[in-house]
Structure 1
Amino acid sequence: MNILYILIPLSFVLLGAIIWALLWAIKSGQFEDMEGPAHEILMDDDDIKKTTNNEKQN
Structure 2
Amino acid sequence: MSDFFYLIPISIVLGLIGLVVFLWTLRNGQYEDLDGASERFLYEEDRPRPDGEDWKS
TM tier relative to shorter chain: 0.7 to 0.9
Superposed counterparts of 1:1-58, under 5 Å = 1-46=1-46, 48-49=47-48
Name the one with the larger helix percent: 1
Aligned length: 49
For 2:34 and 2:44, locate their aligned partners in 1 and report how far apart those are by CA, in whole Å.
20
Give every structure 1 segment of 4 or more consecutive aligned residues whose post-TM-superposition deviation is greater than 3 Å.
none
TM-score normalized by structure 2?
A: 0.76
* Residue 43 of structure 1: how far off its partner (Å): 1.0
* TM-score under structure 1 length normalisation: 0.75
Unaligned runs of 5+ in 1: 53-58
For structure 2, which runs of at least 5 residues remain unmatched after alignment?
A: 51-57
Please say which structure displays the higher CA radius of gyration: 1
